[in-house]
Amino acid sequence: MNLSENVSQALSCLWANKMRAFLTMLGIIIGIGSVIAIMTLGDSLSGSVSESMAGLGVNNVTLSLQSKRSQSYSIRSIMGGGSNTIIDEKNLITDEMLSDLQNYFPEELAAISLSDSVGNGKTSSGRLYANLNLLGVNQEYFNANNISLKDGRLLNSRDIDGTKKVAVVSDILIKNMFNDKNPIGEQITVTSGTHVAVYTIIGVYKYEAASMMGSQTASNADISTTVYIPISVAKKITGKTGYQNVTLITKPNIDTGAFTENATRFFDKYYSRNPDYTVTLMSMESMLDTVTEMLSTIQIAIAAIAGISLLVGGIGVMNIMLVSITERTKEIGTRKAIGATNGEIRIQFIIEAVIICLVGGAIGISLGIALGSLGAGLLGTPASASFYNILLATGFSMAIGIFFGYYPANKAAKLDPIDALRYE
């Protein structure tokens, strides 16, 4: 028989024993479906993380103080959360250091983004309220973090130099407090810990969820958004004179990797003799590589665990093929008696095993894409089913069919035609 006849016969055998074939395929379906679902969800998350981090600025380099006892980036620090550790003022990065850095790298460094957190707080007026995080920033901060202005203006040097009590707030806060009416020039009273102050609104920015997975709080009233005030005002409140985390913005077409290494050596003169702290620089590109690699490792590990069911499925295929050969012993004897070679018999049963695995694989791929897309949708990320993963799963299904179908097929090929024809 030629290939098309073998395939046709294999499909006929499957259709004649639909329930048995389905139960045989179940392990393949579950295995392939699990792997594809995990890979689809992993690709979707990786794409979302890449997009989120790229949105923070490809030219950004994060400058952070790190303990010499633990010089590694946590997920929180990678995503800009910084550290909750209180560092003595004498160890902080100073304005003088940053000024020297800018003078030392005039061709590479475009700007320096500064921020100083005052803390979480709240503003209210009667029954209306809004949760907030009060953050002091300089004017470069907005470019470094891609803040999208909707109305009014951003902070400028006059606001910072004049220590003016002005604020740039989110559209969520405006919706909660002013019912979307023009808020420019309006005042809000902000309570943050023991600090209470009145700020004049000069600008409104578009709020975007900080979560990589796109999840948001159900009620806008409960969402805590950032209120940006001049960093000079924030420093007056906190009493800080230095910085623990700073964002350096390099000029276009600058090799951020080389700049990171050179800037690290620059800070060695300040911190090489410091017994407790050192400065660590990491470019957004290297952060993205780190996070992507971590997600890929987790994805592969989980997929490998799910892939164990493929082994069970393969054993099921081998088992059902052995049963099929026993049931069709006379058919094998007849075919050999009229001239079928051992190779033709072997190919016939290998093709049947491959067809079983391919059909199971196709169902598993469809199921996996559906489940992966559903999971990505629940996490708020766009589904991304990789054609490469689908092709790999199809190839793997064929490999399982050949590997686990070879032994039964070889057993069938070696049957003695006379004994096979006498088999009851």
For 34-46, what is each residue's pLDDT tens digit? 888 888 887 777 7
- The pLDDT value given to residue 70: 61
Report phi then psi at 205, rounded to 5: -110, 160
First to last CA, the chain: 25
Mean pLDDT, residues 394-408: 83
Structure tokens at 159: 């606001």
Q: Left (φ > 0), alpha (ψ -120 to 50) or beta: where does 359 sit?
A: alpha
Mean pLDDT, residues 60-70: 82
- The pLDDT value given to residue 212: 44
Q: Which residues, in sequence order, are CB contacts of 157 under 8 Å at separation 6+?
A: 139
Mean pLDDT, residues 134-161: 92
pLDDT-derived band at 153 (thresholds 50, 70, 90) equals very high
- The pLDDT value given to residue 423: 59
pLDDT-derived band at 167 (thresholds 50, 70, 90) equals very high
Please compute Rg for the chain using Cα positions.
Answer: 32
Strands 149-152 and 195-205, bridge-based pairing: antiparallel
Four-residue CA torsion sign, 246, 143, 290, 371: positive
How many angstroms separate the CA atoms of 275 and 324, rounded?
74
Amino acid at residue number 256:
T
DSSP 243: B
pLDDT over 60 at 232, yes or no: yes
CB 365 within 8 A of CB 309: no
Mean pLDDT, residues 309-316: 80
Q: How far is CA 105 from CA 174, 248, 249, 295, 413, in A?
A: 41, 11, 12, 34, 76
pLDDT over 60 at 424, yes or no: no
Q: What mean pLDDT, rounded, does the chain reach?
A: 82
Q: Which of 9, 8, 14 is nearest to 360 (CA)?
A: 14
pLDDT-derived band at 305 (thresholds 50, 70, 90) equals confident
Range with lowest mean pLDDT among 40-44, 152-156, 168-172, 209-213 = 209-213
Pseudo-torsion of CA 7, 13, 16, 17, nearest 10°?
Answer: -120
CB 244 within 8 A of CB 87: yes
Q: Which of 41, 31, 105 is nearest to 261 (CA)?
A: 105
- The pLDDT value given to residue 290: 76
Report phi then psi at 414, rounded to 5: -90, 0
pLDDT-derived band at 79 (thresholds 50, 70, 90) equals very low
Mean pLDDT, residues 372-384: 79
Structure tokens at 22: 């389905």
CB 296 within 8 A of CB 45: no
- Indicate the helix (H) or strand (E) that contains 155: none
Mean pLDDT, residues 128-154: 91
Mean pLDDT, residues 316-333: 82
How many angstroms separate the CA atoms of 324 and 160, rounded?
82
Q: Which residues, in sequence order, are CB contacts of 165 under 8 Å at separation 6+?
A: 197, 198, 199, 200, 229, 233
Range with lowest mean pLDDT among 161-170, 190-199, 346-355 = 346-355
Q: Which of 170, 207, 167 is nearest to 187 (CA)?
A: 167
pLDDT-derived band at 318 (thresholds 50, 70, 90) equals confident
How many angstroms separate the CA atoms of 350 and 342, rounded?
12
DSSP 244: S
- The pLDDT value given to residue 214: 47
Amino acid at residue number 11:
L
- The pLDDT value given to residue 213: 44
pLDDT-derived band at 57 (thresholds 50, 70, 90) equals low
Order of strands, sheet of 277-283, starting from the edge strand that comes earlier in the sequence: 109-113, 245-250, 60-67, 277-283
Mean pLDDT, residues 271-294: 81
Range with lowest mean pLDDT among 90-104, 228-242, 365-379 = 365-379
Structure tokens at 362: 């196709």
Pseudo-torsion of CA 280, 92, 54, 292, nearest 10°?
Answer: 40
Mean pLDDT, residues 43-69: 73
- The pLDDT value given to residue 100: 94
Residues forming beta bridges with residue 230, ordered by sequence position: 137
pLDDT over 70 at 137, yes or no: yes
- The pLDDT value given to residue 421: 67
